[in-house]
Chains A and B, each alone.
Chain A
Amino acid sequence: MEELRKKARELLETGAVKVVIGYGKGSGQNARAVFVRKAEYADKLICDESCVQNLAVYLTKPEVKALGKPAIVAKLPVLRTILQLAAENQIAEGDLVVLGVSPDGKIIDLQNFKAIEDYVAQFPFELTPEQKAEIEKIGKMSLEERWQYWQEQFGRCLKCYACRAACPLCYCSRCLVECNQPQWVPAAPHAIGNLEWHIVRAMHLAGRCTNCGDCERACPVGIQLSLLNLKLAEEVLKNFKTRAGASSKAEYALGNWKEEDKENFIK
């Protein structure tokens, strides 16, 4: 932690960055996002197991961008998101300073996107045993059981859009659900409105989501959102041999055509 604070102080004192986006002490045992702009406040920065929020969500937020060039404290999930945001032209090399943090809490010097790619490649994404078990459990259900399962999950949805707000890849300034000419997706929190919202969001994230899990953490009613995104990520890997968050030059699997793409569904 002291190393992180020292680095932050240096960056702010030299004017290399205008703000350090990191974690500070929050309520109770929680950490919260902090935006350190003065070197003397660098002591507010912490970095431990309580620091789980994906800070990359702030890289595309207008109010934070207005503060100036940022440094960002980046654990593995954040690093993957940074690569994906770069692949989607939302951030460019040199737009930010990345303060990488290893799984055992050490600061990693990552000068450019290539360095991040090389570092992240050492930790290939893997489902946890719990996630594997949950996905298998749903996979074994009959279609009817699966329908009931998701109806119950989505039945709780209030359409608060905390999932969308917390997601670093949901950076559209005007979300599809906010379009009302026509109202493509019902805005109301009834059965069909909730189902359509979650399916559309999952599909818009397929091949883009880096599986940080913030959507599920943000949901006030505990919907198991990450399962949808995890499952779709596995499907994209299976069908397109690619996973989001590995490269700053990745192509969008669902938006690119390649000669070797199967066209056997065209009858």
Chain B
Amino acid sequence: MLGTFEKMDIERKLLKKDSLDKLFEKIKGSGRRILAPVQKDNMITFEEVSSPGELAQDYVQTTLSAKGAVFPRCEELFSYKFEGKDVKVEERKSEPKPTVIFGLRPCDAASFAVLNSVFSWDYQDSLFKSRLEKTTVISVSCAKADEYCFCTSVGGGPGETKGSDILLTQIESGDYLAEIVTEKGRGIVALAPELFVPAPTEDKERYLVKLPKQFDLKTLNEKLAKNFDNTELWIEQSLRCLGCGACAFVCPACVCFDMQDEANKKGGVRLRCWDSCGFSLFTLHTSGHNPRSAQSQRWRQRVMHKFAYMPERQNFIGCVGCGRCSRLCPVDMNLLEHLKEIVESRD
């Protein structure tokens, strides 16, 4: 059972800014590693840290998501040895290190449930689940947003607690209002209960950025159903798309993967790596037929999968509105703009 997604009464405490150092110490002392946003050159990525002093400051969103903590970009599934005519397979024993991800945004926190909806669907992915079980999420709510953010349009929000074990909201004094959302969150508090003091009766709303909804999901769904065969729409939207994998790889909710066998005469390994439905060979069959041979078909697939098929089959929207795909797209595809265009299209 994944405790992260159980509904519980949320406890409110105050975590003083100066207590962060001690908290990090206690977390590390408990045998957990801490992944947090670190700035290097122009990029902010989740790296292993020891102290809050290493944290990136003053940004809207990290460059890459924290997806790699539960679904690595490249992971070994098993290894094998050739012994004469026999093959000896060695299952990789998944020993994920207990991890605290600190400083996630609420949109990213919500993305773990989206990933899980696929990895716990018709097949229980033990590698993913064992990592997720050992991961604790301490998110920080959003005081700022940029034009690429649209969490509120996909059921999220700058102060949403979904998917977080603890949600921190920085208040005027610089201290944090801490919402202890789950059992795992309580486990962190238990490491240093003296650091979590009674909270003032402040409402966190005034510290959150106001992000109006940009489109209606139900309307989007209806329009998507009507426009599957509207080839012109999909061609227009995707003419500038170059078919790289940047959007899929930076997306916290994208799960598609590729299997690679790397072996020599003695044996080898089977690896699972990130893949993207935008690649031209993504759906190439061994027969040579490719049902999605045009970029417009692949673009349609991306939008449909996230906003039509996943809600239908997994009951989850395949997007958390973090905006990374649009910020990092080399040709400025801007997903939000495309979605609004679909919603506002005439019937």
Contact = CB atoms under 8 A, between A and B. Distances in A.
A239 interface: no
A214 to B, nearest CB: 8
A166 B242 contact: yes
Interface string A176-197: 0010000100111110010000
Interface string B287-308: 0000000111000000000000
Interface stretch (A9-17, A25-33, A74-82, A95-103): A25-33
B173 interface: no
A104 B311 CA distance: 51
Interface residues of A, number: 41
A32 B45 CA distance: 26
Contacts of A63: 235, 238-239, 294-296
Given A27-B147, A161-B279, A189 B244 contact: no
B328 A220 contact: yes
Interface string A191-230: 0010000000000000000000010011011100000000
Contacts of A57: 242
B260 A27 contact: no
Contact of B243 (A156, A165, A188, A220): A165
B249 interface: yes
B63 A221 contact: yes
Contacts of B243: 165
Interface in A35-71: 35, 53, 57-58, 61-64
Given A63-B295, A158-B249, A187 B244 contact: no
A217 B332 CA distance: 12
Contacts of A193: 74
Contacts of A218: 242, 244, 246, 330
Given A188-B273, A221-B63, A166 B295 contact: no
A162 B246 contact: yes
Contact of B73 (A64, A186, A189): A189
B332 A220 contact: no
Size range of the interface on B?
35 or more
B330 A217 contact: yes
B64 interface: yes
B331 A32 contact: yes
A222 B43 contact: yes
B240 A32 contact: yes
A32 B332 contact: yes
A178 B246 contact: no
Given A28-B147, A35-B240, A165-B243, A220 B63 contact: yes
Interface in B242-276: 242-246, 248-250, 258, 260, 262, 271, 273-274, 276
Contact of A221 (B64, B240, B276, B295): B64
Interface of B: 41-43, 45, 63-64, 73-74, 147-148, 235, 238-240, 242-246, 248-250, 258, 260, 262, 271, 273-274, 276, 279-281, 294-296, 326, 328, 330-332, 334, 337
Closest 6 CB pairs of A and B: A218-B330, A165-B244, A165-B242, A160-B245, A162-B244, A32-B332
11 contacts: A34-B240, A35-B239, A63-B294, A64-B239, A156-B43, A158-B73, A159-B245, A162-B245, A187-B273, A188-B260, A189-B273
